[in-house]
Amino acid sequence: QQALAHLRLLIHNLAVSQGLPKEEPTLREIVDSSVSTLSQREIVLDADLDGIEDIPALHRSEPGRLLVAFIRENILNALKYNAPHDLVSLFVEQEQDMLYISCSSPWREQKVPEEMHGGYGLLALQNRFENAGGTLSSNRIGASWTVLASLPWSEIATPTTNARSLMSPPDGAIYA
């Protein structure tokens, strides 16, 4: 059954892909793209990632994927809720075996079109962080909207090789 499930996933991936899988963007590319995207709306992103954006292949590890998801969700929210000339601050700090992440921006009381307001982005992200042993909370603090997260972190978990091939069995599966 595991082999069949893997085969179905492989067929699906090949059917929907347009050729070979594309390389995932690095953290540095994600941040650069975020700066560029926000600047189109004249919103400024101040990002301090404590140097972890230079770790090779970090974006392919689970902590790296969660960090990317955190950045993307907060940038999307900044695009929806912030005004021109607002400052969005993104900070990442590594202490021992924990990664602390925060994103703050001015609080804006404004209406957002219903089709742009899913209301589940941060909630789903919180669930992913908690499943990885971390935390995520968001709240209005004074005149700011702040999202705080923590995530277990170790250099050992940082991959140094390429992502799993489409032909690799799923984690825990053994084929005879």
Residue 131 falls within a domain, yes or no? yes
Residue 46 falls within a domain, yes or no? yes
Residue 120 falls within a domain, yes or no? yes
What per-residue confidence (pLDDT) applies to 2? 74
The pLDDT > 70 percentage for the chain reads 72
Say which CATH number the domain at 34 has.
Answer: 3.30.565.10
Mean pLDDT of the chain: 79
Per-residue pLDDT reduced to its tens digit, 130-164: 999 999 999 998 999 999 999 998 754 444 444 44
Q: Are 53 and 35 in contact (CB under 8 A)?
A: no
Residue 97 falls within a domain, yes or no? yes
Residue 5 falls within a domain, yes or no? no
Per-residue pLDDT reduced to its tens digit, 11-38: 766 665 555 456 777 788 889 999 999 9
What per-residue confidence (pLDDT) applies to 38? 96
DSSP for residue 21: P
- Read off the pTM: 0.72
Q: How far is CA 92 from the centre of its chain?
A: 12
How many domains are there within the chain?
Answer: 1
The domain in which residue 79 lies consists of 25-156
Q: How far apart are CA 32 and CA 47, in angstroms?
A: 10
Per-residue pLDDT reduced to its tens digit, 92-116: 998 888 999 999 999 987 766 666 6
Residue 92 falls within a domain, yes or no? yes
Residue 18 falls within a domain, yes or no? no
Q: How far apart are CA 35 and CA 47, in angstroms?
A: 9
Residue 163 falls within a domain, yes or no? no
